[in-house]
Structure 1
Amino acid sequence: MLDVRRLQVLRAVVTSGTVTAAAAHLGYTPSAVSQQMAALEKQAGTALLERVGRGVRPTAAGLLLTEHAALISSAVAQAETALADLRAGRIGSLSVRYFATAGSTLVAPALARLRAEHPGVRVDLELADPEDPFQEVVRGRADLAVVVLRARDRVGDGFRLVHLLDDPYAAVLPLGHPLADKEVIDLNELSGEQWVGSEPPGPCLEPVIDSCAAAGFSPDFVIQSEDYATAQGFVAAGLGVGLMPRLGLRGRHPGVVIRPVRNPEPVRVISAVARETALDQPALRGLLTALQDAAATDPLDGPSAD
């Protein structure tokens, strides 16, 4: 295999026309340059230089390798430039996973800011599996995921977990419901109701089930919808009540009222999970900061209670 460093020495000799001049440009001794050329000729299996007066000129093989040395030098320079651009966040790509209700309130404004600050960075954005929220990050298929974690979930070493916000659940009642006039509802007051479910099995349903259990009952789900808008429609039609996270209630149905609950208040914890090694990228650090800022702008201050 040809030595790349020796190819660059050959290029310097051919460009300079003499071993002495090449040595001066490279900061070597003429003897060191001659040794490098002898070693390269041995690797190539043929003569690369020939004497012409006091200088040298390349043989056909020497000219061929000099041309390739120039290409290698150009490729290395391009690689160094690309690496500098990547490290500065001017180019690159990020793979991001998120869950549906975080999309418009957290991810969208964060990505808009990322695009303004790092316009050359491409983002691969996909919905995460709600039952296995950060496995795409664990498996190296994603750099960052916006997730709802359960209390028992552990991200382990090599991952950064950043809290974004606590998203409390509120009671969603049809207009005219006997509890609609209350400012705050004790959770056990919903124990005898028929319920409209709005969460799939997984980390978003567990706060509802666990909080109801703490209040002494299990919710009687008579209708199941994994879409908040549709679930609100069922509630508005008088088919049941529900608990839905405030982040999912920004678009309130006109036929429902929303009331906070207590004793206890279900809360889902929304976080960002990233691989520590991926945080070397300025664009990813910028996205993480943008997500924190989006969460700090009070995205829960959306739906009116009346």
Structure 2
Amino acid sequence: MPTPTSTTAIPRTTRTLRSSPRTVSQQVAALEKQAGTALLERAGRGVRPTAAGLLLTEHAALISAAVAQAETALADLRAGRTGRLSVRYFATAGSTLVAPALARLRAEHPGIRIDLELTDPEDPFDEVVRGRADLALVVQVQGRAGHGFRTVRLLDDPYAAVLPLGHPLAGKEIVDLNELSGEQRVGSEPPGPCLEPVIESCAAAGFSPDFVIQSEDYATAQGFVAAGLGVGLMPRLGLRNRHPGVVVRPVRNPEPVRVISAAARETTLEQPVLRCLLDALREAAATAGPSDRSEAA
């Protein structure tokens, strides 16, 4: 007499699995052991499923459909057709870098949802470290990234002297940094990576800046300068909207520069949509660049 698994009751299963009857018997036995009950019973020369077998078959169909849906969803995610991307940025990078980059990303990956949040320049990297953001625009500090993270340099953003109309240095095309040593200063940077290039450059020029008034908003800081309360050193991206009461001059010997980068975890860089965003940010940075370094009032 042929064995139950060699009868006509399961040849389709055997062909589907491309396994021998003996292998199928072993698989059924293992499944019955795991289920704790018989799944097949003899019926004449063949076998038929028990009530438990029928129940398991119904659930297997549901599981198979769910697996197929999951595979489709994963394929869409890998291809960048669906998904969510969490991005953090700081104000002066918003209109210049983030806006055009996201416009390109939306055009190429319309199914991606963007979680966009404005933060302080010193905070975005921590959002990436804690897994709250996939990518962040940061003002880069040497050695900040660490293992498992990558920073992609986008733009060098030089600081310029912001002077009130009629200031003695306003007539110069370029200002040597040490010429500001005796000036009272309007601060526009909070403590952190945006202030460090200013402090370090002033120290290299032989003085420490005398901050007499502080504003962490570039528009307000320009207003203070225009009112004659002091002079400022502000990054070019922060001077896109110019106050009519100030003049802006390039600075040298040395020129303070902040480095704007994109930070992400190494693992997320495998996502096509994130690579697309990085490419778009590079393109926006190349287009932005510093404004005319010899501009007049």
Deviation at 1:116, TM superposition (A): 1.4
Match of 2:234 in 1: 244
Alignment partners' CA distance in 2, 1:139 and 1:271: 18
Match of 1:65 in 2: 56
Match of 1:224 in 2: 214
Match of 1:8 in 2: none
Alignment partners' CA distance in 1, 2:183 and 2:137: 33
Q: Classify 1:256/1:69 alpha carbon distance in 2 versus 1 (closer, same or farther; 3 Å).
A: same
Deviation at 1:180, TM superposition (A): 1.2
Deviation at 1:94, TM superposition (A): 2.0
Residue from 270, 275, 282 that aligns with 1:280? 270
Match of 1:262 in 2: 252
Q: More displaced, 108-117 or 129-138? A: 129-138
Alignment partners' CA distance in 2, 1:75 and 1:192: 72
Q: How does 1:71-150 map to 2 (within 5 A)?
A: 71-150=62-141
Deviation at 1:52, TM superposition (A): 4.0
Give deviations 1:73-115, integer Å, cap 9, x for gaps: 1111111111111111112222222222111111111111111
Which amino acid in 1 is paired with 2:210?
Answer: D
Paired residue secondary structure (2:88): strand
Alignment partners' CA distance in 2, 1:17 and 1:164: 67
Q: Is the 8 A contact 2:96 2:288 kept in 1?
A: no
Q: Which runs of 4+ in 1 moved over 6 A?
A: none
Q: Is the 8 A contact 1:250 1:300 kept in 2?
A: no
Q: How does 1:206-217 map to 2 (within 5 A)?
A: 206-217=196-207
Residue from 39, 48, 67 that aligns with 1:48? 39
Alignment partners' CA distance in 1, 2:233 and 2:222: 10
Match of 2:279 in 1: 289
Normalised by the length of structure 2, the TM-score is 0.90
Q: Classify 1:19/1:261 alpha carbon distance in 2 versus 1 (closer, same or farther; 3 Å).
A: same
Alignment partners' CA distance in 1, 2:268 and 2:8: 47
Alignment partners' CA distance in 1, 2:10 and 2:43: 12
Q: Is the 8 A contact 1:105 1:299 kept in 2?
A: no
Alignment partners' CA distance in 1, 2:296 and 2:83: 44
Q: How does 1:5-20 map to 2 (within 5 A)?
A: 18-20=9-11
Alignment partners' CA distance in 1, 2:152 and 2:162: 30
Match of 1:186 in 2: 176
Question: Where in structure 1 are there 5+ consecutive unaligned residues?
Answer: 1-12
Q: Is the 8 A contact 2:155 2:289 kept in 1?
A: no
Alignment partners' CA distance in 2, 1:233 and 1:17: 90
Which amino acid in 1 is paired with 2:128?
Answer: V
Q: Is the 8 A contact 2:184 2:230 kept in 1?
A: yes
Provide the aligned length of Structure 1 versus Structure 2.
Answer: 291
Normalised by the length of structure 1, the TM-score is 0.88
Deviation at 1:250, TM superposition (A): 0.4
Deviation at 1:286, TM superposition (A): 0.9
Q: How does 1:169-184 map to 2 (within 5 A)?
A: 169-184=159-174
Deviation at 1:128, TM superposition (A): 3.8
Deviation at 1:53, TM superposition (A): 4.8
Alignment partners' CA distance in 2, 1:21 and 1:189: 89
Alignment partners' CA distance in 1, 2:17 and 2:204: 77
The RMSD of aligned alpha carbons is 2.2
Question: Where in structure 2 are there 5+ consecutive unaligned residues?
Answer: none
Q: Classify 1:17/1:95 alpha carbon distance in 2 versus 1 (closer, same or farther; 3 Å).
A: farther
Deviation at 1:37, TM superposition (A): 2.2
Q: Is the 8 A contact 1:197 1:221 kept in 2?
A: yes
